Amino acid sequence: MTTETFNRSLVDPAKPVLGEGVSEGRVDGGLDGSQKSSLMAARSRVSFLMAGFVALNAVFAGKLLYLGSEKGFQAPKPIAPIVAEAGPIVAEKKFSRKDILDRNGEILATSLEVQSLGVNRSKVKDPDLLAEQVVAIIPEMDLARLRQKLSRKAGFIRLHQKLTPKQAYAINALGNPALRLDSREERIYPQGRLGAHVLGFVNVDGDGLAGIEHFMNERLSNGKVDDESSVKLSIDMNVQHALTNELSEAKNAFRALGAAGLIMDVSTGEMLALASLPDYDPNVGSKATGEERRNRATKSLYELGSTMKTFTFAAAFEDGLISMNDRFDATKPIRVDGFTINDDHPKARVLSVPEVFIYSSNIGTSKIADLIGSDKQKAFLDKLGLLDRASLELTEVSRPLLPQRWSDATRATVSYGHGISLSPLHLVGSISAMINGGVLHQPTLLKTSEFVAGKRVISRETSEKMRQLMRLTVKTGTGKNANAKGYRVAGKTGTARKVIKGQYSRKHTVSSFVAAFPIDDPKYVVFVLLDEPKGYLNSGGMAAAPVVQHVVRRIAPILNVAPMKEDVSPYQRLSYLIEKEGK
C-alpha cells in the first residue's frame, strides 16, 4: 500500500482504494468535484501533521546530540542537605584505648562510650528555663547552682560527665543550641578492686595515672588496630583472687596495718599475682586515699628479717666457706661494734649449719656473715639486684634503703635482714634464683611468648642446698605452718621489728614468709607479708606462714600442680645433703 492509499484510508475507510476495484488509469477514482475538494483538504491536514512529527523528531535528536557532547554536559547540582532545627551539638567520638587482659584473655580493663553534657553560656537565652529543663532530666544536679553557672557570661563549661542513654536522648530533644553532648571513653574495670595495684586507673581524659595504665599509657592509647590491639598481662586472675582473698582474711584476723603478696613463675619471671592491701576500686580511682593507692608489694620498703638469711647462706656455700657439717656456737648473745645480737628462739647450744637455718639463729648467721666479709656480702647482694631500683612494668617501684656505711655491725645485721630495707618485689625476684637452679630472671607483668634466658648468679649445687634447707625449715623448723600436704613447700620465715621514732619497736613488726613449691622441681615462688599484725602470735611463722599454706592449696589445682606423696623424712633429707657434700 502506497502513502497516498494510506492517506485515503484515513479519510474514509469505507471507500475503495487502488487494487480494490478502482481503475488504475484514474487516480481520482472517478470522484466528482465536491469529493475531490474534500480529498484535497484531508491530504493537506495529513501532510501538515506528518511535517510536525518530522520536525519534532529532529528537535529531539539534536538535543540528544548536544547533551552527549562535552560542551552540553553539566554535572547535576548537589542536593542541599536537610538541616534539622538547631539543637545540641554532638561532638565527634574517638575511641582508641586498648583493652588489658589477663594471661588467659579475661578482660581486666576496657573502654565504653558515654555521653557528657556541656554548655556554651554565650548562647544561653534564658538561664532559669534551661536550668529547670536540665535538672528535670538530670535530677542529681542542684538547680540553684546550675542557674548560677548558666547566668555567667564565660564560655564553655562541663555540666555533667556521664549521662545515661535516656538522659542523653532527652537533652538532645530539648533542641537547645547552647547545649553540647560529647562522646568520650569511660574506662571500665570489670573485676572491681581485684588487681587494682597492677592495673592502676585513668583520669577523666583517659590518661593513665597509676599501674600498667600509667606505665604503658602510650601503647594503650595509640589508637592503631593491629595484632597487639590488647595488652596481655602475665597475671592469672584466678590466682590473683586466691592470693587477695587469703591476704584479706589474714589482715583482718591479725588487725594488720596492711598486707602484700606476690606469686612468680621461677622459670620466666612472670608475675601470676600481685596484691597490696588496703586496695581501691579503679573504676573510681581518683577517690582512693593515699594509703589505698600505696603499693606495698613493689613500692613500700621493709626490713624483711630472716628471709634475708637465704642470701647469706647462699653466698657462703657459693664461696666454699661453709659445709653442712660445720658448727657454730649459739649458746649466748654476741656483741658486734657495741651492738648485741640475740636469737628470738634461742636453742642456747652449738648448732650445725642446717640447724642455724632451720631454727633461724641470728647469732649463727652473723658468724657466717663474718666469714664472708663486708665487701663480698655487699657484692653478692648487688649481683642479685638488691642494691638497686627494682624492675617491673610499673612506676610504683623503689630503690632500697641502704646503710650509709657498711660497718661490721651492718654486715652482721644485714645478714639476718635488719639494717637494709627492700620491697617485697626485690626479695621475690632474687629468691627465685636461689631455688630454680641459680638463674636470675627479670620479674615481669607481661605474658612472655618466648623463653628469655636469665643470668646465672649461683651454681646448681648451691641452689640445691638452699632448696633442701628451705624444705627442712617447713618440715621441722620455724616454717611448719606453711606445709601444704602433698605440694612439698619449702620456705623461710621473716620477722622484723619496725623502726619507730629512731628505735626498734617490739610492738611494731613486719611478718613475712617466702616459699617455693614443689621444691624438687620448683615452679613458683609465693611471698606473703603482714604489716604490723596484732597479738602475741604475730611472727612470720605464726602469722604469715599459714597464709602461704592456704594460698598454695588453692592455687596448685589452678596451676595444674598435682599433689604428690610425702617426700622422705627430714633426717633422710639432711643425711642425703651431708653425704652428697662429702663426695
Catalytic residues: 306
Angstrom CA distances, 212 to 157, 204, 271, 325, 448, stand at 31, 17, 13, 48, 16
Total number of residues shown for the chain: 583
Residue 313 is inside which H or E element, if any?
helix 309-318
> How many contiguous H segments (helices) and E segments (strands) does the chain have?
19, 17
Q: Dihedral through CA 221, CA 225, CA 226, CA 228, nearest 10?
A: 40
Q: At what angle do helices 237-253 and 545-558 cross, to 10 degrees?
A: 160
User: Would strands 99-101 and 271-277 be described as parallel, antiparallel, or unpaired?
Assistant: unpaired
Alpha helices in 391-544 (DSSP H): 408-415, 424-435, 460-476
> How far, in Å, are 328, 359, 368 from residue 371 at the CA level?
12, 20, 5
Quote the distance between the C-alpha of residue 523 and its chain's center. 24
Give the E-state strand segments of 189-326 in sequence order. Answer: 230-232, 258-265, 271-277
In angstroms, the Cα distances linking 303 to 308, 423, 495 are: 9, 9, 9
Q: Which of 174, 179, 176 is nearest to 158 (CA)?
A: 179
DSSP state, residue 80 = P
DSSP state of 450: S
**8 A C-beta contact, residue 487 and residue 548:** no
> Which SS3 state, helix, strand or coil, does residue 464 take?
helix
**E strand spans, 81-235:** 89-90, 99-101, 107-120, 156-163, 179-188, 230-232
The residues with which 327 forms a beta bridge, in sequence order, are 352
Among 490, 535, 483, 530, CA closest to 510 = 530
578 in Cβ contact with 325 (< 8 Å): yes
510 contact partners, CB below 8 Å, separation of at least 6? 302, 303, 304, 305, 494, 495, 496, 498, 529, 530, 531, 532
- Of the candidates 216, 181, 207, 233, which has an alpha carbon nearest to the alpha carbon of residue 286? 207
Pairing assessment for the beta strands 89-90 and 179-188 based on DSSP bridges: parallel
Task: DSSP letter for 287, please.
Answer: G
* Residue with the three cell numbers 600505696: 294
Neighbouring CB atoms inside 10 A of 209's CB total 16
Counting Cβ atoms within 10 Å, is residue 441 exposed (0-12), middle (13-18) or buried (19+)?
A: buried
Which residues lie closer than 8 Å to 144 by C-beta, 6 or more apart?
Answer: none
